[in-house]
Amino acid sequence: MIREKLFVTGIGTGVGKTVCSAVLARYFEADYWKPVQSGDLHYTDSMTIKDLTGNDVFCHRETYRLKLAASPHQSGAEEGICINTDDFSLPETQRSLIVEGAGGLMVPLSDRELIIDLIEKLDLAVALVVKNYLGCINHSLLSIMAINQRELQLKYLILNGDFPEDTERVICSYVSIETTIIRIPDLDPPTKENIEKTALDLFNKYKPQRHKSFLP
């Protein structure tokens, strides 16, 4: 069985990282981990993943659960907490693991460290989620540039939703041939059923392994 350990980040906030993480978790039969949850403690991203995947995905507990819905450095400061990347270690699991970040690569964890520093510390390949909006090309290319400068592996570029042909062509032209481009349709609203269907569609297209849960 192929085991992946991926850090899912986005070109910004609200691009669909959690929904894409749910699809990837089902596709790879993976566990899920959100290292930092800032705000929405009544309905966290881990809870969303459970609702979208049921018992098929195990969600590991967050390292930080912060009350304020803001950048982690601000949420932590409100509670007298200074987040340090040395505080994080990957959960132990025999399965694949999908790790979801907060916002984009340059979101600060503290005054000295960013999300991209956490990716580097955890030594994970990156899955970058892109959504179409005015400015998405700029944000995508800046994110790709930052990943390359840190010499991180951009393993997957995830195009979330519909894209104009010209926008998609420009963004995809800046990734290497080693990067797999995954297209996920606009799942609005996301449900357990369409997450499962999308994961199955990806499996039928890419066939990384024979997932027992997708066999008839």
Query: Residue 180: which of 209, 205, 151 has the closest Cα?
Result: 205
Global pTM? 0.93
Structure token digits, residue 164: 């104009």
The question of whether 155 is a catalytic residue gets the answer: no
Binding residue positions for substrate: 38
Binding residue positions: 14-19, 38, 45, 100-103
pLDDT tens for the chain, residues 1 to 216: 568 999 999 999 999 999 999 999 999 999 999 999 999 999 999 999 999 999 989 999 999 999 999 999 999 999 999 999 999 999 999 999 999 999 999 999 999 999 999 999 999 999 999 999 999 999 999 999 999 999 999 999 999 999 999 999 999 999 999 999 999 999 989 999 999 999 999 888 876 543 444 433
Q: Among 34, 197, 207, 212, which one carries the catalytic annotation?
A: 34
Binding residue positions for ATP: 14-19, 45, 100-103
Instruction: Give the pairing type, strands 154-160 and 125-131.
Output: parallel
- Domain coordinates of the chain in residue numbers? 5-214
Architecture of domain 5-214: 3-Layer(aba) Sandwich (3.40)
Q: 194 — phi, psi (to 5°)?
A: -80, -20
Measure the CA–CA gap between 215 and 212, rounded to whole angstroms: 5
